[in-house]
Chains A and B, each alone.
Chain A
């Protein structure tokens, strides 16, 4: 993905001495919206992070950021037969032993959770844990907002196989390849995560983690993924010239999920927006949402399948 950005950079550098400066932009006042980041996976409890949007240049110190969490919301998840209200849990009040599980569930590293302090809505009521094929409806009442969303957990599809290849020009670095067969009907979409054993604390979405079958319908094909990073990572290996590759010899856990199309559209536009930021040739990408009632974010179901690969040429 970075490469395509490079194309624009190189084309400019070849000809132009472009010049950049920081400017002040006066932003008009906007109304605050609620932001949902919620997911449900088979055999897992649903969880919802509920935050609010803020002015673009609002302060970014920790105390201000803690205030982006919305408390005391009524958050309900229903699967058509059961309806369960989620409880608010704040990590400050939880024992350290539980943080690992929270980290895996919400996809935020333990370190970040500890320094920052998270609040999330979840439940231990197993009757609402994810089941394949079911549709889950989320409803939220908070601070005068009334939001709703629904998602399904599609049947998981396993990859045919995974393999590793050195990237030409590199020894011991390369992409993680896979061979996949897409079902014959249109409308399948996927999201993939990896976790390097002993290196990553959790499953990280690949860089470019989603795809659908618009161009791939019914095909069996090989493709590769770019290694994903912790957001805003400052680690050397996440910022050097091999940052998009995996290292030969690593053991990698892969979580490969099928997702429904509205869920796919959120991550598709989310990743496009991140990619297009600072690209003058692209129109600003509005990140789509499947939240109804004026909210932002996503409520997404995952049909997950898991594999473990030892990376060997």
Chain B
């Protein structure tokens, strides 16, 4: 009945992959450019002596070769030589390296992205993700300045005549008066870095903003940035520059989080207490990142306090949090453990009477974050971090004997080893495991139905950071991921009879990448980031391809053996960003990036759900590919008190995936999920305006995005272009925090977004006396615009010696706007009696919601 065809294809092993691309001989090949700045440096007396001796040798050589050189020519050569030496002084002059770590004095945590610069040269660098910096410059006397937003600057005089190591401990700047920060504020990161479309958020800022039910949510906060579109309530998925929610790479300590939401998307999985740093890259993606088209959200967990034990916690309306951290060995090893659990479902339990048919139904979620880190030596450091989170939803309806149990969630483990080969070469080695799974168990009477889907990754990474001179920041590395996809594994039984839900179709894939990039200060005005990423993806057996008839019934199957290549894709991804600075406070930037994405999320529903399945590129599904162009103008005002920018982008996305019209989730059983896919193209363009006040009693930002996002699929919407559901003509946000006094502070946010595009029925007909909807063009209808204001007020308790506490009062949706969540059409009455009433109804989720949270730490 089912014919089995065996295809033998050449299996491409990982080893052969690496040998093909020359892994062993992989080194930064960029030739060292002349150090143009050194022509401003004065000639050192020692150097003159050196010149003299060289000249002597030179003239000797001339003499020996018996070439008669006229005086004039001779002088000309000498001048040329002098110019050459001056221009290449770097080669002649001695260079030394200053390197080390920047840490927070209070807890010993690494400071990511702190600026370390040399006052005399007006040049510097920033610390990497592990707080490490390295600067290589000519010998001499310098003043080093370490600066970090919200912290006091540190100045240090150094005499550089050998390689030096300095670890800086920076202290939080409690007095945030404007006068204070202006002094020594030389940080023009916004205008000066060859990085665009990138935002870093401080967790402290995020915590001071209002949040629904007081649940601080970093995913909701990044949606307040221009270019990042929220899907509204009940959807943690976010949309960056017209890309889908699966096009965002969400990393927690380097581990990919495949479903970043709890409760069908109402809350994110990130517990703010466990987070140190949040970085969002929405364009101009550096070569070290890859695998997704639209953005990277790189979240770093706290390392744990190296100095003292500390407990932080919060008690809120729907959940509580507790974090414990401290040194295992002071200044050498530390840990942090942070947990959060919701209890609204439990609180409701006593009020559900025993006779209620829903008794036994419950819902809760919890998160656990843990991290240990150990400084083995000045050159070696180990990190072990993990995340475990689960949503548990139980539904019981005694009336019809129905029960449902659905646990789902992510777990990740990251083991990382930092190693300093020398003062210029830093290596981070990571081994990462990540697992997302969704399970559903349904039972009614004798029927039992189980569904299991998920994705598991084993990931190994080598990331080198090479800082040969102050003008270069070279990064290179390799990445290998083994994916295991379980698209949907269903079992169903009735009594003793097991239904035929088909073989479990598990997909396996090797995902590989090599990259090289350099941040290069060509001169004072021009800085470039150039990078190249080579990525490859191999879908391997065991695999079974079902070839079906038009009704989805199996015709025949193709079987691939274990290790056999089903399909191999690979490609080059160039990444290029340049900055041209008119001066410290003004610059233009442009970027060009190309990305491949080899794994995909396919969603039936219009919101992202835990049931959505991740699928690999296969013999049917080609990798997604995007090309993005962006240009921007950046200007800082009043000593960097204000940052402003305007960016424009155009993004083209090939091989986008949707389900075919009329595909149903049940069709996945005993089938390949991708048999139900159809493919098309997407594109998006727009402009983003950003205005930020960085410090002062009142600070915050205003963002505005004007954009268009469309798709075209041959098999959808009769082949005509259509807007995506989250196409947003206008998207604006205002975010403010205001320190009213030492104890009181106020946070406010306001958002406005064009309504979602929807497919609604345009006409009706009757079959069997029932109303049937006929739908119009895809996404022809626009819901009403979404807008909302939230406020929060924080009262810090009186400072006691050790114990600190604060109250946070927040009001969500202050003016009680009824924002549309979805629209449905309904009818009442009987057509045959002429009493039929047809209505369109709009459902809103959250009206005004006040909440209160008590936070403490000791």
Contacts and interface: CB of A to CB of B under 8 A. Distances in A.
Interface of A: 3, 6-7, 10-12, 14-25, 27-28, 30, 32-33, 35, 37, 51-58, 60-62, 65, 68, 107-108, 111-113, 115-116, 165, 167-170, 175, 184-187, 205, 212, 214-224, 230-232, 234, 241, 244, 261, 265, 268-270, 272-274, 277-288, 296-298
A231 B768 contact: yes
Contacts of B492: 215
B179 interface: no
5 contacts: A55-B763, A116-B833, A222-B446, A232-B830, A283-B605
B763 A15 contact: no
The 7 closest A-B pairs by CB, nearest first: A62-B834, A112-B832, A280-B822, A231-B769, A186-B553, A60-B836, A53-B765
B834 A37 contact: no
Nearest to B402: A3
Contacts of B604: 282-283
Nearest to B362: A14
B775 interface: yes
Given A61-B834, A215-B501, A216-B500, A25 B823 contact: yes
A51 B402 CA distance: 40
A286 B662 contact: yes
Nearest to B758: A284
A53 to B, nearest CB: 4
Given A221-B494, A297-B765, A28 B842 contact: no
Interface string B433-476: 00000000000111100000000000000000000000000000
B847 interface: yes
Contacts of B781: 25
B552 A214 contact: yes
Interface in B820-835: 821-826, 829-835
A169 B398 contact: yes
Nearest to A23: B842
Contact of A18 (B606, B769, B840, B843): B843
Contacts of A19: 818, 843-845, 847
B768 A57 contact: no
A28 B776 contact: yes
A56 B769 contact: no
Interface string B748-777: 000000000001111111111110111110
B494 A3 contact: no
Contacts of B836: 60, 65, 232
B76 interface: no
B843 A285 contact: no
B263 interface: yes
A212 B664 CA distance: 14
Given A25-B823, A284-B775, A3 B400 contact: yes
Given A216-B499, A221-B494, A273 B773 contact: yes
B847 A232 contact: no
A268 B784 CA distance: 33
Nearest to A264: B551
A216 B494 CA distance: 11
Interface residues of B, number: 95
Given A3-B397, A65-B834, A169-B399, A214 B553 contact: yes
B344 A15 contact: yes
Given A60-B831, A268-B664, 17 more contacts: A10-B358, A11-B264, A21-B818, A23-B842, A53-B763, A56-B763, A112-B769, A167-B400, A169-B401, A186-B553, A215-B500, A232-B836, A270-B768, A277-B773, A281-B607, A283-B605, A296-B765
A25 B840 contact: yes
B309 interface: no
Nearest to B835: A60
Given A56-B838, A224-B445, A281-B609, A115 B773 contact: no
Contacts of B780: 28
Nearest to B829: A232
A186 to B, nearest CB: 4
B774 A167 contact: no
A214 B669 contact: yes
Nearest to B490: A215
Contact of A187 (B445, B551, B773, B832): B551
Interface string B595-608: 00000000011110
Contacts of A20: 841-844
B832 A115 contact: yes
A273 B845 contact: no
A3 B358 CA distance: 11
A244 B765 contact: no
A282 B605 contact: yes
B6 interface: no
A111 to B, nearest CB: 8
Contact of A23 (B393, B399, B823, B834): B823
B37 interface: no
A216 B499 CA distance: 6
B841 A23 contact: yes
Contacts of B835: 60
Contact of A14 (B344, B397, B444): B344
A221 B501 CA distance: 14
A222 B494 contact: yes
B767 A11 contact: no
Interface in B594-632: 604-607, 609
A273 B773 CA distance: 8
B499 A215 contact: yes
Given A22-B841, A56-B761, A217-B500, A37 B768 contact: yes
A18 B401 contact: no
B488 to A, nearest CB: 13
B832 A116 contact: yes
B750 to A, nearest CB: 21
Contacts of B400: 3, 167, 244
Contacts of B122: none
B395 interface: yes
Contacts of B695: none
A221 B499 CA distance: 8
B837 interface: yes
A28 B348 CA distance: 46
B838 A57 contact: yes
A223 B841 contact: no
B840 A278 contact: no
B569 interface: no
Contacts of A21: 818, 841-842, 844
B636 to A, nearest CB: 43
A289 B585 CA distance: 64
A220 B760 contact: no
Contact of B840 (A23, A234, A281, A283): A23
B404 interface: yes
B764 A54 contact: yes
Contacts of B551: 187, 212, 261, 265
Interface string B793-823: 0000000000000000000000000100111
Nearest to B667: A214
A135 B764 CA distance: 30
B765 A35 contact: yes
B655 interface: no
A6 B397 contact: yes
Contacts of A11: 264, 363, 393, 395
Contacts of B762: 27-28, 30, 55-56
Contact of B670 (A17, A56, A214): A214
Contacts of B446: 222
Given A10-B395, A261-B551, A284 B759 contact: yes
B719 interface: no
Contacts of A282: 604-605
B358 A60 contact: no
Contacts of A35: 765-767
B736 to A, nearest CB: 27
Contacts of B829: 60, 232
A152 to B, nearest CB: 14
Nearest to A2: B400
B497 A281 contact: no
